[in-house]
Structure 1
Amino acid sequence: MLHSAFIRGFRAMLPLWLGAVPSGIAFGFTARHVGLDAFEAQAMSLLVFSAPAQMATIDLLVRGVTPVLPVVVTLSVNAQLALISLACGRILRPGIWPAAAVAFLLTEGSFAVASAAPPLTLASLGGAAASMYLAWNLGTLLGLASADRLPALTHFGLDFVIPLTLIAVLGRWLREPPARHPVVVSALAATLLLLVLPSTVAILCAAISGALAGTVQFRDREAMWNGPSS
């Protein structure tokens, strides 16, 4: 039963490989050409496993910012996963070690796909998460393998591939208003803060403001779903 649920979750994610593998290729290729060696880039995909955070980190490293800032940005970008983990914990009530394993692999996409193919179980969620993890790391490996055989993207004037890929990764999750609201808050905050703060500080503060907006919105929606307390 657990095996079939895992396979069901794994297979449900396969259509998303069409986006995950090319994005991983772009990350691996670009990471190699901005100075990371193959071990560092692949380790980032294995340990961080967050396309937006990894793209943002490389962008910040290229700009020569302090190493602390990419860490803070990574935590801010992935803040919503803490909320998803809480939701999963309330629904599934897993043991500590299975919960830790799934939490490490959890993404918005795997949660959404596993939830859309009920019943949602720890095995089906784990299968979906493992599928995306494999796709992202396979893409990174292919990007690293091609980086030494092809010229740097900057030779073609394509050094803007990092922000474009980041936008592409985020864009598919912005189709619903609940996902767009935190982005609007972040964009407005960044626009205003850039007038008075250094760009890196302004972007960091804007990311935090978006995460806070998402947290408030999540709590409001959860209260609406649960109804008034008796």
Structure 2
Amino acid sequence: MPQPDLVIFDFDGVLVDSEIIAARVEAEMITQAGYEITGAELSERYAGLTFKDIMLKIEEVAAIPFQASLIDQAEAMVDQRLRADVRAIEGAREAVASVAANRCICSNSRAERIGFMAEKTGLAPFFAGRIYSSLETPTRNPKPAPDVFLHAAATLGANPRNSFVVEDSVHGIAGAKAAGMRVIGFTGASHSYPGHADALTEAGAETVIRRWADFPGVLAALSEWSA
């Protein structure tokens, strides 16, 4: 059976149910700063972006200047909530363990945050030494730039065109496609919304799954098709 060179997992909203937690905190802070938005709205519009980029995009449409100190405040509050409440998405550990090929995490979150969530959820042993934060790559360009995906592939000796990425956001899919990789969309986290699967498909996902139980079969089928 053909095997991919590399299987890349996004982290927030793919392996751990963290997007909804972060979105609620960030929405509260942005609302307090003068732009009213709910956690659900923030997730739908801006999932996959750093908080800094979310603020910049809102500033463009709302003409509201945010204080730079809001970034550090939000980061601290999100970390606090995640340490207390984050959980692995059902079936994520089993799905990761089923991957016979090389595997890694590529995320826009800080490596420190990914690390403590991976430890809390029991995912850390699956990715020892293979966690890549876009904020800590040579360019430090976050998704939707392809840089973190290409950095991971180069580091692990993988051909991007024989690599698969699992992503829950349009911005993440854009980065993976720009890197020349194939993408499986995922909509099984709490922040998923009506039309989520359609949005991921339109962004370039070859297929979309809602349950991790479906992942091994889908990966095998797509690997065969590429051969």
TM-score w.r.t. length of structure 1: 0.27
More strand by share: 2
TM-score w.r.t. length of structure 2: 0.27
Q: Which has the higher contact order (CA 8 A, sep 6+)?
A: 1
